[in-house]
Structure 1
Amino acid sequence: MTTSTTDALIQHRREIADLRQRIRNRRLQVSGLYVTPILLLAVVLTWVGLKVFVWLNADTPTAINMIFFGASIVLAAATAAQGVAEFHEVYSIWDDHGTSVRELKLDLELAEERRILEARRLTPSTLERQASYKERIPGEVGRLRKESRYYRRVHLLMQWLTFICSAAISAVTALYDLPQPGKGLLIALAFIVTVVTGAVGYFKPRERAFNLQQTADSIEQHVTALDLGIAPYTHDDGVNLESFATTVEGLRAEQRMREQQLDQPHQGQQEVI
């Protein structure tokens, strides 16, 4: 019974994931179907406009003609191929040609409703759900560590940009006496330093990386304690799994609260704290 229940719920999840992918693909297909002819028209009009307003009494440069001609050929071929894929019944390679995104969204809503009804009918016991929750935690720990590495790299990149540009400002100031090109370089470097410094202060990648790493380490510590049967998980399996799920959800809630505090201005953070 448990195996059949699991297979049924997995099948519903696969159906929902497939519909979501089909919706994304269909959006790209519809966008290409309408955007490509518009781009083709824009390229042709630009080509004609350059000839009329710039080179009316002279020959258009060969390089310009080749660029616009090549772009027009590519866009025309793409338009024709998309038209065949959308409207031809025999040579169409699109699975959902002729189907609107709205219809696919309705199918997705119905599939999600069927999954909910099926889950209610085939809901496993609390102990089984807690055991399943425990098996999903390593993936959550991996996600937290991956996000922590990402924000750590962003922070390091921003810091190195700040260091390099700050040092370059001093170097440019010492090298160039004339207003140009030293002045332009100084303006660009100062702009980069200002933007990077502001981004570091606003997005706080270092703090985000630290919080994510701390949460991942805490959850992993509880996973290890549960596997080894050490404190605080020294009771029977049912009590241990319940305590484990409660603790991990508390850690995740604290992580979400810290993220919300980082997203708020400094004044808002003081009020929340």
Structure 2
Amino acid sequence: MPTRDNHVNEDDEDDDPTSTLTPKQLEEVRAKALAANAELLKINADIRQFELYASRARARRRMSLASYIFGPTLLLLLYTIFWLPWLNKSTLVAVCIPGFIIAIWCCGAAVKLTKDPGGGPRLKFADGVIRRHSEGELELEIAKQKDTKKLKIADGAFDQKTRRLIYKEEAYADIEKLRTDSKRYRNVNNLLQGILIIGSIAATGASGVASSLGPLRWVVLGLSLTVGIASGFMGYYKYKERSFYLQQTADAIEHEWEAFEVGVGRYKYIKKENLALKEFVEEVHRLKSEQRKRQQNLEQPPETRNAGEL
């Protein structure tokens, strides 16, 4: 817990440097800060816009892939149903006509999305072609905008308080990213765990009757192989641990964010916003560093990882 003496020293260190400037110099500093803030807002808006376009491009790509798989598969299924001898004509009509329309629609959507990929509005490019930005171009543009933002901050266009506020806003975006990554690893772990449980039970049951039914031995072999592969991936890549650490870091950063906003916890006795912001940035930086160390440890080979944990 910070003491009163520490607060006094920190107050001295964080005094406003503009207090020694003349009115004209102060006006110039404020004008420069306003221009820099306006430029920062524009860069942030561009990043959000390109991220939206990239999200739409990924959705169109996934829809195209799903249509390519679902359309022909449905046609093949309808062809198989059509030749089933025990289905009467009325049932075939009720099933095949709607199914055929859906299958043709999926094939048409797949072709259209393949010829018109990407996201965002159609634009005329330097080569004269009117098209959307491709997913790779959007990712590259997002990276360029983020690099521009970092350079603006590093060039001293923003004062220390503004840089800390930028870091604070990026910390909130990091919470969503950490939780998204945690959810992805958790879903993979749950899928493999489900394969492990169902495959183990099915293999045990199938092995009991495999002696009387010869072909079931191959089923038992396939189930055992699937269970072994799932177990190996879970043990080597540590999906559960990755998900847990990512979620833990996201919750810790969110806790710091909320404590800073309402002035509780470590920020209860800090009266000046600059000092509270400084404390917040240091704590979030520590949490991110610890997460990176845990991630690096999990990416090591099992023998190295076990030796480092001893």
Settle same-fold status: TM greater than 0.5.
yes
Partner of 1:250: 286
Q: Pick the aligned partner of 1:265 from 301, 305, 308.
A: 301
Q: 1:114 and 1:250, CA in 2 relative to 1: closer, same or farther beyond 3 A?
A: closer
How many angstroms does 1:200 deviate by? 0.2
Counterpart mapping for 1:169-184 below 5 A: 169-178=203-212, 180-184=214-218
Counterpart mapping for 1:1-273 below 5 A: 1=31, 2-12=33-43, 95-96=124-125, 98=127, 118-119=152-153, 123-178=157-212, 180-233=214-267, 234-235=269-270, 236-273=272-309
Instruction: State the superposition RMSD in angstroms.
Output: 3.9
* Contact preservation (8 Å) 2:153, 2:163: no
How many angstroms does 1:214 deviate by? 1.4
How many angstroms does 1:119 deviate by? 4.7
Partner of 2:3: none
How many angstroms does 1:192 deviate by? 0.5
Counterpart amino acid of 1:195?
A: I
Partner of 1:67: none
Residues 141-161 of structure 1: per-residue CA shift (max 9 Å, x gap):
222222222222221221111
Counterpart amino acid of 1:7?
A: A
SS in 1 for 2:264: coil
Partner of 1:41: none
Q: How many residues align?
A: 210
* Contact preservation (8 Å) 1:9, 1:119: no
Ranges in structure 2 where 5+ consecutive residues have no aligned partner: 1-30, 58-106, 117-121, 129-133
Q: Distance in 1 between matches of 2:144 and 2:225?
A: 51
How many angstroms does 1:125 deviate by? 1.1
Q: Distance in 2 between matches of 1:111 and 1:162?
A: 44
How many angstroms does 1:10 deviate by? 4.2
Using the size of structure 1 for normalisation, the TM-score is: 0.62
Q: Distance in 2 between matches of 1:5 and 1:154?
A: 43
Q: Distance in 2 between matches of 1:113 and 1:221?
A: 29
Residues 165-214 of structure 1: per-residue CA shift (max 9 Å, x gap):
01111111122325642121011101100110000001111111111121
SS in 2 for 1:232: helix
Q: 1:188 and 1:270, CA in 2 relative to 1: closer, same or farther beyond 3 A?
A: closer
Using the size of structure 2 for normalisation, the TM-score is: 0.55
Ranges in structure 1 where 5+ consecutive residues have no aligned partner: 26-73, 86-92
Percent identical among aligned pairs is 25
